Amino acid sequence: MRVYELARKLKVPTKKLLNILSEWGIEGKTNLSGLTSQEIKEIEEILKERSLEEKPAGKVLPARDPIVTFLGHVDHGKTSLLDAIRNTQVARSEVGGITQKIGASEIYFQGRRIVFIDTPGHEAFTAMRAQGARVTDIAVLVIAADDGVMPQTEEAISHARAANVPILVAINKIDKENANPERVRRQLTKYDLTPEEWGGETICVEVSALKKKGLDELLEMILLQAEIMELTADPDGKLEAVVVESEVHRKKGPCSTLIVKQGTLREGDVIIGGEVYGRVRALINWRGKRLKEAGPSTPVQVLGLSDVALPGQIFTRADSEKVARRMAEETKEKLRSQSMRKREKVTLESIFSSPKKEVKTLNIVFRADTQGSLRAIADVLSNMGDEEVKVEIISQGIGEVKKSDILLASSSRAIVVGFNVEVSPEIRSLASQEKVEIREYQIIYDIIKDIKLALKGMLEPVYTEQLIAKAEVRNTFRITHVGLIAGCYVTQGKVVKGAMVRVVRQGESVGKGEIVSLKRFDRDVNEVSAGLECGIKIEGVDDIRKEDLIEVYEQKRIR
Ligand code: GDP
């Protein structure tokens, strides 16, 4: 029998039961197989006596459902585990169907609710904490059974500890042939996370996200941990809701997902958090359902805010929109004057400090798909330098890489880093004209790895060529001061200014160079699509003939 099962049977809080058991020298939280029925009766007696002695002190707050974050090393299965839990639960529940990505989700298990924060990884966790908000109640540390404790597992442990969040271990991928959960347990003892089975305090659950094994037990343990923590919140108290994710939606405008920590958030409420405020136009949960109100531990996407809010930002209720606007403006003004002071200080320092040892700066223009990743990655990047090189994010934003980003990068000798964002062909060609490097990533870990290497000056980009267009040469012209122009008909894809091309004659490459000028009639253009004619000037190629084939390549970075 498990502690919480006994607690339910005896109708007492798990925490209370645990206290008695520990007085008896029984420390295990999960397994009570050693208890005899006589002993259980005795416990029951003691509990009865104590409940007569105890008087409730003050107002008893209702229990609050736990908010959980998955942490751990990259590829150990955080995302898969979360997906597996969600999918099984969604499939089990009657209302099937639409789920949307709002940055957090909630599932029901054994009649209780568990809330999961989507953004895995400790960067996001820390970024949120940097804002002074504690959202996570329980950290599930995911460790792959075939891989064991890795550097990011260690980091995750430190972050959870620093935030004072209890750790529950999920040993994942136990379906794998070379899985070695015992080794993981052994490794954990080194970090003061001795498993319960070995006489320690840490709950470990063996799971497989792939085979959907051990998921129920993991959820049970989360609930058990929550019961031990006795989480409470006052639904009638002062509103406090924390941002976990933000994005700008093309139609809906700024959307932020908030998790209510205290009080109740209702449609029509005026709320304020930092520089952002607004009247709540709609509350939408992760199943896409509109809610009239959201109580403690409920994640909801909030529509109607003035701007995107940073993860970790705490929102409270304001009396009116007028008051909220004034408060937001005051905050904005305060932040502006702070940042001006900061800038002045840097210049002053750089004027007066002796330039003996010059500090090199790696300037970055950064774009990401969501406010969450933006904030998280920006935080990590800005802390990556040392005494000799520093990383400076000179601009950051959500959404695709823009023309202004390239121009800014060009003028400040920065690189552009894109995380899960689009880069259009025009932007690529502008970047190549301006000699600005765009680096694209899908994995946070890769950015960190690359920037680390870049800081050491060791980074060698690896490119591969990808055919993006073909054009036939129909005519050639020689123009004074300009040189040879190929009059072409684009047969496939899109010819892009700035791209590399190869001139092919009878199946053989006869020249290679960059498109330095691209014209439709007399107009300079950035791209020409299939079915259209154009004039192409290729740098460094002076032999192009009628019927040659022009193959246009995009340089694609592979690693
Ligand atoms: P994250 O980086 O921690 O979010 O890891 P992912 O969830 O993206 O998983 C990384 C890889 O491990 C993916 O290829 C998954 O398919 C695989 N994976 C995750 N869980 C399991 C598991 O339980 N068993 C096996 N065999 N593979 C898994």
Q: What is the pLDDT, as a whole number, of residue 458?
A: 45
CA of 145 to the centre of ligand 1 (A): 11
pLDDT of residue 102: 78
Q: Determine whether the shortest distance from the Cβ of 181 to ligand 1 is under 6 A.
A: no
Domain boundary among 185, 205, 229: 229
For the Cβ of 119 lying below 6 angstroms from any atom of ligand 1, the answer is no
Domain co-membership, 133 together with 279: no
Atom of ligand 1 nearest to the CA of 72: 3
Residue nearest to atom 22 of ligand 1 (CA): 173
Tell me the pLDDT tens digit for each residue of 392-407.
Answer: 888 888 888 988 788 7
- Answer for the pair 465, 553: CB distance below 8 angstroms, yes or no: yes
Ramachandran class of 550: left when φ > 0, alpha when ψ lies in -120 to 50, beta otherwise: beta
Pick 458 or 322 by higher pLDDT: 322
Q: Is 382 near ligand 1, meaning CB less than 6 Å away?
A: no
| Domain around 104 | 67-229
pLDDT at 366 over 80: yes
Q: Which of 389-393, 462-466, 534-538 has the lowest mean pLDDT?
A: 462-466
Q: Are residues 329 and 354 in the same domain?
A: no
**CA-based angle 361:366:370, to the nearest 5?**
150
Q: Are residues 382 and 441 in the same domain?
A: yes
Segment 416-430 mean pLDDT? 88
Alpha helix stretches (DSSP H) within 235-370: 321-352
pLDDT of residue 351 exceeding 70, the answer is no
Whether 16 maps to a domain, the answer reads yes
Query: In the prediction, which pLDDT does 519 show?
Result: 93
CA of 443 from ligand 1 middle (Å) equals 14
Residue nearest to atom 19 of ligand 1 (CA): 77
CA of 81 to the centre of ligand 1 (A): 8
- Residue 146, pLDDT score: 96
3-state SS, residue 257:
strand
More confident residue, 4 or 341: 4
Residue that finishes a domain, picked among 315, 340, 365: 340
User: Do residues 262 and 242 touch, judged by C-beta distance below 8 A?
Assistant: no
Residue 57 or 547, more confident = 547
Using a 6 Å cutoff on CB, does residue 150 contact ligand 1? no
- Whether 30 and 79 map to the same domain: the answer is no
Count of domains forming the chain: 5
Higher pLDDT: 490 or 343? It is: 490
Residue of 69, 75, 125, 175 to test ligand 1 pocket, by largest number of atoms within 8 Å of CB: 75
Nearest CA to ligand 1 atom 6: 77
Beta strand 463-479 pairing with 483-496:
antiparallel
* Alpha-carbon distances, residue 226 vs 8, 223, 397 (angstroms): 14, 5, 37
Residue 52 alpha carbon to ligand 1 centre in Å = 51
- For residues 53 and 7, the model is more confident at 7
CATH number of the CATH domain containing 496: 2.40.30.10
Q: Give the residue-averaged pLDDT of 316-320.
A: 94
pLDDT of residue 261: 93
Q: Name the residue with higher pLDDT: 54 or 471.
A: 471
Q: Do residues 166 and 248 share a domain?
A: no
Give residue 295's pLDDT band: very low, low, confident or very high (50, 70, 90): very high
What's the pLDDT score for residue 94?
Answer: 47
Average pLDDT, the chain: 83
Closest ligand 1 atom to residue 120 Cα is 4
216-229 average pLDDT score: 92
CA of 75 to the centre of ligand 1 (A): 6
Q: Is the pLDDT of residue 213 over 90?
A: yes
Task: Specify whether 364 is located in the same domain as 430.
Answer: yes
Q: Is residue 342 scored above 50 in pLDDT?
A: no
Lowest-pLDDT choice from 40-44, 84-88, 170-174, 233-237: 40-44
Specify the pLDDT at position 217: 94
Instruction: Give me Rg for the CA atoms of the chain.
Output: 30
Residue in 133, 165, 127, 156 with CA at minimum distance from that of residue 372: 127
CA of 70 to the centre of ligand 1 (A): 13
Of residues 9 and 270, more confidence is placed in: 270
Q: How confident is the model at residue 84 (pLDDT cuts 50, 70, 90)?
A: very high
Distance 74 CA to ligand 1 centre (A): 9
Q: Is 80 in the pocket of ligand 1 (CB under 6 A)?
A: yes
> Which stretch of 99-113, 147-161, 247-261, 445-459 has the lowest confidence by average pLDDT?
445-459
Residue 61 lies in a domain: no
Protein residue with least CA distance to atom 2, ligand 1: 75
pLDDT at residue 376 tops 90? no
Q: Could you tell me which residues are beta bridge partners of residue 553? A: 467, 500
**175 close to ligand 1 (CB < 6 Angstrom):** yes
Determine the Cα angle at 182 with ends 181 and 188, to 5°: 90
What pLDDT was estimated at residue 540? 87
Q: Is residue 501 included in any domain, yes or no? A: yes
Q: Which of 112-121, 198-207, 368-377 has the highest mean pLDDT?
A: 198-207
Pairwise pLDDT comparison (236 vs 61), residue with the higher score: 236
Convert 134-201 into a string of H (helix), E (strand) and C (coil). Answer: CCCCEEEEEEECCCCCCHHHHHHHHHHHHCCCCEEEEEECCCCCCCCHHHHHHHHHCCCCCEHHHCCC
Residue 445 binned pLDDT confidence (cut-offs 50, 70, 90)? confident
For residue 511, tell me if it sits in a domain.
yes
Q: What is the CATH number of the domain that holds 146?
A: 3.40.50.300
Per DSSP, the three-state class of 401 is: coil
Q: Answer yes or no: is the C-beta of 173 below 6 A from any ligand 1 atom.
A: yes
Q: Largest Cα–Cα distance of the chain, in whole Å?
A: 105
At CA 21, angle to CA 19 and CA 24, rounded to 5?
115
Mean pLDDT of 127-137: 70
Q: What pLDDT, on the 0 to 100 scale, is given for residue 346? A: 32
Cβ neighbours, 10 Å, residue 320? 10
Q: Is 210 in the pocket of ligand 1 (CB under 6 A)?
A: yes
Question: Is residue 208 lining ligand 1, measured as CB closer than 6 Å?
Answer: yes
Q: What is the average pLDDT across 364-380?
A: 85
- Residue 236 included in any domain: no
Q: Is 75 touching ligand 1 by the criterion CB < 6 Å?
A: yes
Looking at residue 461, its pLDDT comes to 54
Residue 538 lies in a domain: yes
Place of tokens 């040392």: 386
Q: How far is the CA of 136 from the centre of ligand 1 (A)?
A: 23
Q: Considering only CA atoms, which residue is closest to atom 18 of ligand 1?
A: 77
Q: Among 69, 71, 75, 80, which is best to mutate for testing ligand 1, by the most ligand atoms less than 8 A from CB?
A: 80
Q: Is residue 59 part of a domain?
A: no
Determine the average pLDDT of the residues in 175-197.
Answer: 92
The per-residue pLDDT for 207 is 97
Check if 122 has its Cβ closer than 6 Å to any atom of ligand 1. no
Query: In this structure, what CATH number is given to the domain that contains residue 385?
Result: 3.40.50.10050
Question: Average pLDDT for residues 351-359, to the nearest whole number?
Answer: 41
Burial class (CB in 10 A: 0-12, 13-18, 19+), 95: exposed
* Cβ neighbour number for residue 421 with a 10 Å cutoff: 21
Decide: 246 in ligand 1 pocket, CB within 6 A.
no
pLDDT band at 508 (very low <50, low <70, confident <90, very high): confident
Same domain flag for 368 and 314: no
pTM of the model: 0.60
Residue 277's SS3 state is strand
Q: Is the pLDDT of residue 358 over 60?
A: no
Same-domain status, 96 and 222: yes
| Residues 356, 221 share a domain | no
Judgement on whether residues 274 and 180 belong to the same structural domain of the protein: no
Atom of ligand 1 nearest to the CA of 82: 7
Single residue among 410, 427, 458 that ends a domain in this structure: 458
Rounded Cα distance between 554 and 500, Å, is: 7
The number of the ligand 1 atom at minimal distance from the alpha carbon of 213 is 23
Same domain flag for 332 and 356: no
Q: Is the predicted pLDDT of residue 341 greater than 80, yes or no?
A: no
Between residues 190 and 455, which one has the greater pLDDT?
A: 190
Vertex 417 angle, CA 467 and 338, to 5°:
160
384 within domain boundaries: yes
The residue with greater pLDDT, 555 or 127, is 555
Q: Report the range out of 57-66, 327-336, 380-389 with the highest average pLDDT.
A: 327-336
Residue owning the nearest CA to atom 24 of ligand 1: 173
Per-residue pLDDT of 11-56, as tens digits, reads: 777 777 777 777 777 766 666 667 777 877 887 787 777 766 665 5
CB of residue 201 inside a 6 A radius of ligand 1 = no
- CA torsion sign for 155, 160, 166, 168 is negative
- How much distance in Å is there from the Cα of 220 to the middle of ligand 1? 22
Is the Cβ atom of 396 under 6 angstroms away from ligand 1?
Answer: no
Report how far residue 475's alpha carbon sits from residue 495's, in angstroms, rounded to the nearest whole number: 17
Q: Assess whether 334 and 389 both reside in one domain.
A: no
